[in-house]
Chains A and B, each alone.
Chain A
């Protein structure tokens, strides 16, 4: 990379760039050397940027018509759906956009898990990512409260009540969160304020996430360090731009099907009933993207420990770079880890499934086993696997794939020491 060698061609450009090196930044972003073997799982970073911008733009326009008041919120949403020009379109994009955002972020996270993108030297990228994910959950939860339907109201009640599990100060914190003795107008207005703020925090963190990424450069499916720029890399523009664009368009087709042909399938019918503090719906279910954590929460019979388990399930990810002791990044060269990876994927899907089911009988048993396995994977399997696993030989560079067919342990060792 030769960032500081860059000089704009025009005089005006030079004058400007000497004072504010925006053109240097633009040049860095277009020339940024990217591994040329990135597969489509790597396109979700771009897709997520698109999701964030879509949510911010549609959210801003919705906020021009929405009224954050307990007596008028539901009505104002109906007003948007019926009377505002293209209001139905903007709201359906925003509501389904949240689901698409989470779909993309889960793929992004699991891509990282498979190819070991969280490992040295990319720990900071990973941790910023986890913070973004937490903020996304907060934003999504508060956004779901705003239409002031039955699920909004009772979801808010249940989730805020989680804080009452904290010993001594719990009740006080919950009252403070509500601004009253139940979820009511003060709660709604503060949730609206925070729902408006959080996306901009996420945006700032995304800048840091990308900045931190551009220091070591992208990981890649082979998981080895590569020289940059070299014959293993291509400039970001046009190669990665067009590829990300293609993947984004495929993603948008799926998105469009939801928005135009089944806009309410991911939502819950009860949220079209206005909030009623006197009646709780028969089944309280969070949005699909929170179901695995909801299952973990319910699988622990103790109130405080349940909350602790749920939070730990997320926070454990932040220390993942130090739990995984293997020096090899990509699961492609880790035959055992690969098996466990798919078991983890299945485990999380099962957790999501039982999270949507009533917490009783067989479902509860499955939830408990799956919860236990979730923690087992991170706390026991990963640390031990790093020492015990016999990894496959890894190539020296992307353009020179593995020599021969048989495992070449000498090579693997050599590469291992190289990475260290």
Chain B
């Protein structure tokens, strides 16, 4: 047992050093209280709905979300728009379908089963329209960035005047949380750029939080189900482990030996 503790200490120490040195590379991110963290973490529905609004009115002009479908907006554990609301949202977009009986492609209003409409035809078109920088697809963006939600949340609020000594090229902006501090995306949010239907004041901070929550859900749509099942699974395992422990004690009491 002592040896075990010793080993455990070494491992923990190494892990701690490791984590710290990873963290040391980065600036301290802005913090906020995410409702979806922790054992029972859940999304804030209203925030997700507002976040969708920010995405669709601001981000969607350049950023695709190609793995999401309109039906997802009405699914359990997400923004939970009603099915009719989600249908209306879908119908406000035009998608290309076909070919029809005459062999022609045609456009029609989107249905729940359709994927989110993309802002550009393809990656090259997206690059061409954005000065050579491809606006990344946002479906799993939160999981594709080291700092996760904190990073995205900070980045959205990290635009500043470039400190003296740093020269920025045309179309490049200074952001204190961006890797290398130089970013091609201009500050996307400004106070009041969207008007929330529920009366929440659309400050940059509020919009950053809402849209980041929305992106977290988009990247991990089954997060709530996972947390719920995880809690049940672990409680179950602890109960079974306890039972097995006492059974083991009973069985081994037949021989003179320590377990």
Contacts and interface: CB of A to CB of B under 8 A. Distances in A.
Interface of A: 36-37, 75, 78-79, 81-82, 88-89, 92, 234, 238-239, 242-243, 245-246, 249-250, 252-253, 256-257, 259-261, 263-264, 269-270, 272-273, 282, 342, 345-346, 349-350, 352-353, 356-357
B67 A82 contact: yes
A356 B18 contact: yes
A263 to B, nearest CB: 8
A276 to B, nearest CB: 10
A406 B138 CA distance: 70
Q: Which of A92, A252, A261, A342 has the most CB of B within 10 A?
A: A261
Contacts of B240: 249
Interface residues on B, range: 35 or more
A244 B72 CA distance: 43
Contacts of B204: none
B140 A272 contact: yes
Contacts of A264: 143
Contact of A269 (B136, B146, B221, B234): B146
A269 B14 contact: no
Closest 3 CB pairs of A and B: A260-B230, A272-B144, A249-B241
Given A256-B230, A349-B14, A36 B251 contact: no
A178 B245 CA distance: 51
B244 A253 contact: no
B184 interface: no
Nearest to A253: B237
B251 A238 contact: yes
Given A246-B244, A273-B144, A257 B234 contact: yes
Contacts of A261: 39, 227, 230
Contact of A353 (B18, B230, B248): B18
Contacts of B231: 260
Nearest to A282: B179
A36 B251 CA distance: 13
Contacts of B6: 342
B245 A246 contact: yes
Contacts of B172: none
B229 A89 contact: yes
B230 to A, nearest CB: 3
A81 B241 CA distance: 30
A346 B39 contact: no
B257 A256 contact: no
A79 B221 CA distance: 12
Contacts of B162: none
Interface string B231-245: 101100110110011
A215 B17 CA distance: 45
Nearest to B11: A349
Given A234-B255, A349-B11, A245 B226 contact: no
B17 A353 contact: yes
B79 to A, nearest CB: 15
A253 B241 CA distance: 9
Contact of B14 (A242, A257, A259, A353): A353
A256 B236 CA distance: 11
B49 to A, nearest CB: 19
Nearest to A274: B137
Given A246-B248, A353-B18, A78 B140 contact: yes
A7 B254 CA distance: 27
Nearest to B71: A83
B7 A239 contact: no
Contacts of A256: 230, 233-234, 237
A260 B234 contact: yes
A292 B4 CA distance: 21
A357 B67 contact: no
A259 B230 contact: yes
B92 to A, nearest CB: 23
Contact of A89 (B136, B146, B226, B227): B226
19 contacts: A78-B67, A81-B221, A82-B67, A82-B222, A234-B257, A238-B251, A239-B255, A242-B248, A246-B245, A249-B237, A253-B241, A257-B234, A259-B230, A260-B227, A260-B233, A261-B230, A272-B143, A273-B144, A349-B14
A246 B247 CA distance: 9
Contact of A253 (B146, B226, B238): B238
B53 interface: no
B244 to A, nearest CB: 5
B252 interface: yes
A303 B178 CA distance: 35
Contacts of B251: 238-239, 242
B124 interface: no
Nearest to B148: A269
Q: Which of A243, A249, A282 has the most CB of B within 10 A?
A: A249
Given A242-B251, A272-B140, 18 more contacts: A36-B257, A37-B257, A78-B67, A78-B139, A81-B221, A239-B255, A243-B248, A245-B244, A260-B226, A260-B234, A269-B146, A270-B144, A272-B144, A273-B136, A342-B6, A346-B10, A349-B10, A349-B14
A239 B10 CA distance: 32
Contact of B222 (A88, A342, A353): A88
Nearest to A41: B4
B5 interface: no
A242 B234 contact: no
B252 A239 contact: yes
B243 to A, nearest CB: 9
Given A36-B255, A239-B251, A269 B143 contact: yes
A243 B246 CA distance: 11
